[in-house]
């Protein structure tokens, strides 16, 4: 039997449909996990099994986070890693992460997902690339199922340790054959290729400076055999470029192309230092970029040329990046930061509020190679969030509530609907006991920091 959900009387519904309609006094009618109608409240069915009165709320498609390392929620603001650039930051954190346990992965993933969902995100990718002490990607997937988030679980990996010229210590790298066979197991166990899938697997060696060229190439072959996406870090900062030039005698973009890592099924995090040829290569091949403005500022990596990428036709999504390089993983906050940072780099016209919201919805969907999320229209997955304009931070902004979401202090959602299920209701989770999760998370974060001493 089907179940219906009606969200009505919204101040405005932001559809992100082909005409980018913003519907005043809008409503969305959902049947099971799909959107059936979007329109003015008076034009939609008036009855449903469950009705949410969205008076004074803005309704938008659920935001899509295309880059994260959720386990890092356990290692926020560690004093040794507060002030370094990328390579220094990583070198200080690898030994701490070497003590991760399966429970830590589970609980930190739950915590990070709770934070994302509260901030308007309904679909997230997570890039887990360190597997000490029996940790598995399965532990992240269990947490996604528990909280009810749409999840693209990226099987990361590191295989080139310090003794072979890589950055990570030898103790945290894995054997390449083991990486590939575990990735294959995960795809066969969890990957759902269908529309409206709640879980997908991504093949995701960590970065050019922590895996071999062979593993990059083998990963692309494996991903294409199964029709799953590819994800890694690329061209993050000047040291990253120098490593690529010295080790491979190529720019990061040339290296990506050489390894088979371009196409609509591949997306790269950061690309702060992607050069002009790289931008055109990505545009031509449909290769995606995960833009992570807060992390790029935090690690002083630079300002990614997003305006230029968009003008060239590159698919760009947003990512909060790991919780240890963006210590506040607020998705709507990241939208705001994306808009502000482009303006710092490229002038006041470089990005509008609506363009930033579009990157975080339609852009993210494209980067994750999906056509069923990122917009509110019939036939799409029922992923949407509500923001209450009566919150203090929105005072005085009601003449343009849509822009207010991005310009004003980042707000938390009052409702989140993911795959037709009300996951947040009146600002509270319906799927987890957040207090218990946080208590355990903070204990585990303490244990992890202590273990490193």
Give, as ranges, the residues between 32 and 51 that touch Zn ion (CB under 5 A): none
As measured in angstroms, the least distance from the Cβ of 101 to Zn ion is 21
Nearest-10 Cα torsion for 293, 294, 298, 299: -40
Cα distances (angstroms) measured from residue 54 to each of 23, 97, 193, 299, 389: 13, 43, 33, 39, 10
Comparison of 174 and 321: residue with beta carbon closer to Zn ion: 321
Comparison of 91 and 397: residue with beta carbon closer to Zn ion: 91
- 382 touches 50 (CB < 8 A): no
Give, as ranges, the residues between 320 and 379 that touch Zn ion (CB under 5 A): 321
Comparison of 156 and 401: residue with beta carbon closer to Zn ion: 156
As measured in angstroms, the least distance from the Cβ of 321 to Zn ion is 5
As measured in angstroms, the least distance from the Cβ of 233 to Zn ion is 5
As measured in angstroms, the least distance from the Cβ of 154 to Zn ion is 10
As measured in angstroms, the least distance from the Cβ of 367 to Zn ion is 14
Give, as ranges, the residues between 267 and 326 that touch Zn ion (CB under 5 A): 321
* Buried-exposed string 188-218: b where 16+ CB fall within 10 A, e elsewhere: eebbeeeebbbbbbbbbbbbbbbbbeebbeb
Q: How many residues bind Zn ion (CB under 5 A)?
A: 1
As measured in angstroms, the least distance from the Cβ of 216 to Zn ion is 17
Comparison of 126 and 321: residue with beta carbon closer to Zn ion: 321
Comparison of 115 and 321: residue with beta carbon closer to Zn ion: 321
Show the site string, 204-243: x = touches Zn ion by CB under 5 A, - = not: ----------------------------------------
Distance CA 286, CA 265 (A): 8
Comparison of 66 and 119: residue with beta carbon closer to Zn ion: 66
Q: Which residue is nearest to Zn ion (CB)?
A: 321
Which residue ranges make up the site for Zn ion (CB under 5 A)? 321
């Amino acid at each position: 039997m089907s179940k219906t959900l009606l969200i009505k009387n919204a101040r405005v519904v932001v559809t992100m449909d082909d005409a980018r309609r913003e519907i005043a006094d809008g409503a969305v009618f959902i049947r099971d996990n799909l959107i059936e109608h979007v329109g003015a409240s008076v034009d939609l069915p008036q009855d449903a099994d469950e009705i949410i009165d969205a008076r004074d709320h803005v309704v938008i498609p659920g935001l899509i986070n295309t880059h994260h390392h959720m386990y890092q929620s356990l290692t926020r603001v560690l004093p040794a890693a507060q002030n370094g650039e990328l390579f220094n930051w990583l070198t200080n954190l690898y030994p701490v992460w070497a003590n991760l346990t399966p429970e830590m992965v589970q609980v930190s993933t739950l915590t990070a997902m709770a934070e994302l969902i509260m901030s308007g995100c309904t679909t997230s990718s997570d890039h887990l690339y360190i597997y000490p002490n029996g940790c598995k990607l399965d532990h992240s997937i269990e947490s996604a199922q528990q909280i009810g988030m749409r999840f693209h679980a990226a099987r990361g990996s590191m295989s080139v340790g310090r003794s072979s010229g890589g950055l990570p210590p030898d103790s945290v790298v894995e054997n390449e054959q083991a990486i590939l066979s575990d990735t294959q197991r995960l795809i066969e166990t969890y990957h759902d290729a269908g529309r409206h899938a709640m879980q997908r697997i991504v093949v995701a060696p960590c970065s050019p400076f922590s895996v071999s060229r062979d593993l990059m190439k083998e990963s692309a072959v494996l991903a294409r055999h199964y029709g799953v996406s590819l994800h890694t870090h690329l061209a993050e900062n000047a040291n990253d470029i120098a490593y690529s030039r010295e080790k491979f005698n190529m720019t990061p973009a040339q290296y990506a192309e050489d390894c088979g890592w371009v196409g609509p099924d591949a997306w790269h995090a950061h690309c702060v230092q992607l050069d002009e040829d790289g931008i055109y290569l990505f545009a031509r091949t449909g290769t995606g970029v995960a833009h992570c403005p807060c992390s790029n500022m935090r690690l002083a990596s630079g300002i990614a040329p997003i305006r230029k990428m968009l003008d060239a036709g590159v698919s760009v999504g947003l990512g909060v990046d790991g919780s240890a390089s963006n210590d506040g993983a607020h998705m709507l906050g990241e939208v705001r930061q994306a808009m502000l940072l482009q303006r710092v780099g490229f002038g006041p016209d470089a990005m509008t509020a609506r363009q930033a919201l579009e990157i975080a919805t339609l852009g993210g969907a494209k980067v994750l190679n999906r056509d069923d999320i990122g917009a509110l229209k019939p036939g799409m997955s029922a992923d949407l969030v509500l923001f209450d304009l009566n919150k203090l931070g929105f005072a005085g902004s009601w003449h343009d509530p849509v822009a207010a979401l991005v310009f004003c202090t980042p707000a938390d959602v009052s409702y989140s609907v993911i795959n037709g299920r009300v996951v947040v209701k009146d600002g509270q989770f319906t799927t987890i006991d957040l207090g218990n999760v946080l208590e355990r998370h903070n204990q585990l974060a303490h244990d992890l920091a202590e273990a490193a001493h």
